[in-house]
Chains A and B, each alone.
Chain A
Amino acid sequence: MQIVLSVFLLLISVVYLGYKFYQNFIQKKTTCSNCAFSAQKK
């Protein structure tokens, strides 16, 4: 059970980081992770 939950957490983390990367470079929204200041596409 612990293994399943751990792997699940790992998967969520990897997907989240991948999504952040996608959002910054490919999608139209860039957000500073530190202050959450968001920049939309011009």
Chain B
Amino acid sequence: MEKKQYKVALIGNPNTGKSSVYNLITNQNQPVGNFVGVTVDKKKHSILSPKNHEIEIIDFPGTYSIFPQSEDEKVVFDILKDSNHIDFPDIVLFVCNSTQIQRNLLLFFQLQQIGLPVVLLLNMTDKLRLMGKKINYQELQKSLPNCTILPINARLKSDKNIILNSLDNFIENNSFSKTYNTKYLQKLANQPELKEKDTLDKIYQAKEIESKVISQIEEDKSSKFTKKLDKILTHKIGGYFILLSILFGIFQIIFKLSETPMEWIDANFNYLSNILNQTLPPGILTDLIAQGLIPGLGGVLIFIPQIAILFLCIGILEETGYMSRAVFLLDRWMRPLGLSGKSVVPLVSSIGCAIPGILSTRTISGEKNRLISILVAPFMSCSARIPVYTILIAVVIPDVYVLGFINLKGLTLLFLYLLGTFMALFSAWILNLFVKEKNKDIFMLELPFYSLPNLRNLFVTVFTKTKDFVVGAGKIILAISIVLWFLASFSPVNDKIDNEIKHLKSSDLSTTELENKEASIRLQNSFIGIIGKTIEPVIEPLGYDWKIGIALITSFAAREVFVGTLSTIYSVEEDNEDGLIEKMKNDSRLDRKKVYTLASGMSLMIFYVFAMQCMATLAVVKRETQTWKWPIFQLISMGILAYFASWITFIILK
């Protein structure tokens, strides 16, 4: 007989630590943060309990009430209203923020009313202690007689067994519900007045319980500290100055710390490529490995330092609670622009990646506000732009210091990030003029207590994100490098190449010059050269040559492919000791003018700030808006904007 799998749901208010509990009991590394809305869809994982019961843990998005206000909250309602739903739980682990028992208990009572057996996990009791408060557990158990109450700390490994043992006890005592009152949900969902009364009754009940079980025993130092710090960090002028300084510091650090390892990796991959070329038997496979695979792989690994530092900084901002303050500061700008404050969370999330950013728009209840947020989120500079920005900055921005201590390269990177943010806000404002919203969203931003970052969490986040970058981007870049190498190494017009080379040999050139010219002729007449030359007239006004044109096309798969593409093309063309950065710096046109100048480099960076160069984001926009109309609109409008902005940049700086 097949063993029964028990379904256990993790449910609770936003930012109560559900994902931390999920990671604790499943040994997973799902993203967590001291930040509302990290989870916007359910996640599942199967485990074996200490007594060998098969348990499927389902982590739900945070919600304040069972009745949904937004798309992410709908996930909980849709499952719980139907006891035959495949994910309808046998047991609920209700994660409760001990510092806000009253607000948390509303959802708890709603779950109990459905008839679901609930285990109450009192999380963040350490924070409650810091606030100088104490819980009377006996009194709480008396007030909530039909549930198991477990004080836990989701950051402590030892608490894993406490939770799992309680599930084992529950299963062995067969304490499951026989019937569920899902009609309660269906009835109230259709009768707003009844729902309001029910909610108010439950809130009063929760308030009464909180006043009975929570007592202030010491002075509240934690809140005092948070309030004091908030006065400074969210100050209406000083707050922005601090935010800018923090961002400025991050980009300076990214450049300062990553420059040396970046050059080291670049040089070593080139060295490896040359060694392989010399030691492996000559042939097509050797060329493919030395000129296609290795440079392509180098194109990914070169960015490990930048990606790791960026995610470390984002992780610290989230874990300390500062990210919520940054959201608060941006929110002040959104409101005068007529936008919902909830649009800020997706924009801030998009600094890591536009996909979670777009998914987090599910927290926005107004359809049109949600649409605007989806449309502007890709303007925020995501981590995939880092490789493009840093390589171009390394090539075209001089290594000078402004005012003696501000590195111009770091400053340029900060400028690109701010430009993306400005364009996201500006285009949201423009779109808001055309798209009118009737129901304004109420945005309640929770400002969590400041806390020291958990080093384990930080390490896990940085390691996982960097590994994902290497493996994820690596596979795509490798595959594209192989295809590109073939396209760059073979030609449909071999006769033409032979004739040109014959003509070249009759001229009076040195052996090195002859070799270089020959490689250049072969590349220009290869499949990729012909494609590049065909599109060159379109991108020439922006200051780009055909090789950049090819990289623009391939980087539609993912922005970071830009670097892998150039790496492969240059290694096919130039078989020398230089790394990619040197090759790019030295590349010149027929008229001997450099390809990468300040004008063409900045123009290219501006193109990447504005253009929608990401297949996965387009797919996600299609999925979230349920139509092709909006991704196509995004692709075209952002493309036109990118083209003209780059053109103007090139003309001004030329």
Contacts and interface: CB of A to CB of B under 8 A. Distances in A.
Interface of A: 1-3, 5-6, 9-10, 12-14, 16-17, 20-21, 24-25, 30-37, 39-42
A24 B553 CA distance: 18
Contacts of B53: none
A13 B483 contact: yes
A35 B476 contact: no
A32 B359 CA distance: 12
Interface in B522-580: 557-560
A16 B560 contact: no
Given A5-B285, A13-B483, A35 B623 contact: no
Nearest to A23: B619
Contacts of A34: 353, 382-384, 468-469, 472-473, 558-560
B284 A6 contact: yes
Contacts of A9: 288, 482
A2 B286 contact: yes
A39 B620 contact: yes
A14 to B, nearest CB: 6
B469 A35 contact: yes
A6 B482 CA distance: 9
Contacts of A36: 468-469, 471-472
Contact of B285 (A6, A30, A35): A6
B623 A30 contact: yes
Interface in B250-306: 281, 283-286, 288
Given A13-B483, A35-B468, A39-B355, A30 B383 contact: no
Interface string B449-476: 0000000000000000100110111011
B285 A37 contact: no
Given A6-B285, A39-B355, A33 B558 contact: yes
Contacts of A42: 41, 71, 623-624
Contacts of A31: 472, 616
Nearest to A11: B482
Contact of B616 (A13, A16, A32): A32
A41 B476 CA distance: 22
B478 interface: yes
Interface string B622-654: 111000000000000000000000000000000
